[in-house]
Amino acid sequence: MRELIGMIIYVSGAFIIASPGIVYFEKYHRPGRLLRALEELEANEIETDHCGFTDLKEVINSMVDKEDRLTEDVYKLDVHAGTLTTGKGALFKLRVSTGEGETRKIQEPLFIKIRYKIDRTIRRGKTKIRTVGICLMLVGFTLQMLPELMSIFPIEV
């Protein structure tokens, strides 16, 4: 019986390790929602009804100044190429559309820095999920091997 429970825990751990890479499960964990939101933002624009919009707002709000924070009336975000160009090319900024029909740009940080922070948050989140999976696999493997180990190394009580 212990071996069966160990096998179930082991397989569950393997599934958890694989789950961040399965597209169909992305909407069920924060790193996946952030990844979908970032892809949508880079492809075109993201609106409130898109997957990961609120998670994206949280990450952006943790980076920007108090006056640039995204409030509840923000309904759309998109990336806007600035008119100022540097040796590295155009500077991209995040453009925010509010419910009042106004648009404004987040001046600092630039989109490349925001994107880097979002990417790091996604990676960290996936690593945490996979760490839980590895721990479950270790517990499951140990439960499967325990009877065998007890026969090799008998413990006298």
Contact 114, 96 (CB under 8 A): no
For the record, the structure tokens of 130 come out as 């996979």
Q: Specify the pLDDT at position 151.
A: 82
- What's this model's pTM, rounded to 2 decimal places? 0.82
Q: Specify the pLDDT at position 100.
A: 76
Query: How many other β-carbons are positioned within 10 Å of the β-carbon of residue 78?
Result: 16
Q: Specify the pLDDT at position 33.
A: 94
Contact 59, 41 (CB under 8 A): no
Q: How far is CA 48 from CA 6, 18, 74, in A?
A: 43, 29, 8
Chunked mean pLDDT (size 10), the chain, 157 residues = 91 96 91 93 90 92 86 87 66 82 81 91 96 97 87 76
Q: Specify the pLDDT at position 153.
A: 81
